Amino acid sequence: MPPLALANRVTQVTPSMTLAISAKAKVMKADGLPVCSFSAGEPDFDTPDHIKAAAKAALDQGKTRYGPAAGEPALRQAIANKLQTDNDLCYGPENIIVTNGGKHSLYGLIMALIEPGDEVIIPAPYWVSYPEMVTLAGGIPVIVPTTADQGYRITPEQLRQAITPKTKLFVLNSPSNPTGMVYAPEEIKALADVVVKADIWVVSDEIYEKILYDGATHLSIGAVSPAAFEHTIISNGFAKAYSMTGWRVGYLAGPAELIKAVSTLQSHSTSNVCTFAQYGAIAALEGPQDCVATMGQAFAERRQAIIQRCRSIPGLSCGAPQGAFYLYVDIQPVGLSSLDFCTQLLDEHYVATIPGSAFGSEGTIRISYATDMETILAGMDRLEAFVKDRLG
């Protein structure tokens, strides 16, 4: 066997810590251990019946063959309609590519847009894959720290100061993974003003747009003005709002030239997204939306319970997430690194959480409440016991 010399690009990135911890928790559970998993960003609900029925019907109709690399025309049109109706974004099907999940839409974008040396501004805490994708493309992740005091939101002044002649892209995620924060409309407008004046691109990751609480509203940055629209790229998908994580259907919306470039890349990597799954996605967009509201109500109830429980534990503190299904917890008084905290909590009390270091924010952990109330209450009891043990 010849020496195995891996490409240097592989050594520059790290595996997803969220997936690694989730996998470890699943193995422990399979071994019979009573694991309470707060690690994965995955709704515990089954995919709604009308979506599954549409995919089954597509199978029965023989929708099992190769399709266009950019996606089924009917789904691209449905996505364009959705973006116009829900987000006030004027895209046509030529501005849409269907991808293998929302993550793949972002990967395709980065590979098509970012060249070696290009800078990409990423507010921290950030979703774990943003900087890794930029690094794989030879770009430079420019991490801008935010704090709990500022609601984990990047300010227009922070964004302005981070921009250099090498800046090509700003990554915006609202509602946020991992913090659950949501930018208010006036904050989105202020950030859009900076983007337009600097003449840079912004990609808005809107995968959690339909999961909101306490009257929070989602404004897509591209809807702020015609000028903002011309600087905006949209990433979204079906995993969170419709509990379709395993279906792997996402999409990217942007200028036709960009979408064509991403489609070319996709044609040489994955080709089309699973054909019959795309018909399920059409049903998700065009069918009844009460399933979204039902799941949202369950998330709201769990959110309230987990906030109250967390705030009752001495040594821990948290804000109230306005969207998504994550609680971002400050653990600094406990005196452990976030990785040590999560590792010991899982090994000793069988509770899986994600260290803030994975999101570029030490001294914190992320707790996903996309699980049933029984698991939430049991897991928080164990978390309290763990913290009390450490604080004496």
Question: What are the residues whose beta carbons fall under 8 Å from the beta carbon of 338, sequence distance 6 or more?
Answer: 331, 355, 356, 357, 358, 362, 363, 364, 365
DSSP state of 327: E
Whole-number Å distance between alpha carbons of 286 and 246? 20
% of the chain at pLDDT higher than 90: 91
Mean pLDDT on 332-358: 95
* Whether residue 93 has a cis bond before it, omega within 30° of 0: no
- Token pair for 60: 């029965």
Whole-number Å distance between alpha carbons of 67 and 62? 12
pLDDT band at 345 (very low <50, low <70, confident <90, very high): very high
**Residue 357 pLDDT exceeds 90:** yes
Query: In the chain, which ranges are E strands?
Result: 36-37, 96-99, 119-124, 140-145, 167-173, 201-205, 232-237, 250-253, 317-318, 326-330, 351-352, 354-355, 364-368
**What is the edge-to-edge ordering of all strands in the sheet holding 364-368?**
317-318, 326-330, 364-368, 354-355
Identify the CATH number of the domain defined by range 50-286: 3.40.640.10
Mean pLDDT on 329-337: 96
Tens-digit pLDDT profile for residues 68-103: 999 999 999 999 999 999 999 999 999 999 999 999
**Residue 14 pLDDT exceeds 90:** no
- At 29 the pLDDT is 87
- At 155 the pLDDT is 98
Q: Which of 20-29, 217-226, 312-321, 375-384 has the lowest mean pLDDT?
A: 20-29
Question: What are the residues whose beta carbons fall under 8 Å from the beta carbon of 260, sequence distance 6 or more?
Answer: none
Q: Which CATH superfamily is domain 8-47+290-391 in?
A: Aspartate Aminotransferase, domain 1 (3.90.1150.10)
**Model's pTM, two decimal places?**
0.94
Domain locations in the chain?
Answer: 8-47+290-391, 50-286
Do 325 and 121 touch, CB atoms closer than 8 A? no
Burial class from Cβ neighbours inside 10 Å (0-12, 13-18, 19+) for residue 292 reads middle
**Residue 19 pLDDT exceeds 80:** no
- Any alpha helices (H) in 174-213, and if so which ranges? 185-198
pLDDT band at 294 (very low <50, low <70, confident <90, very high): very high
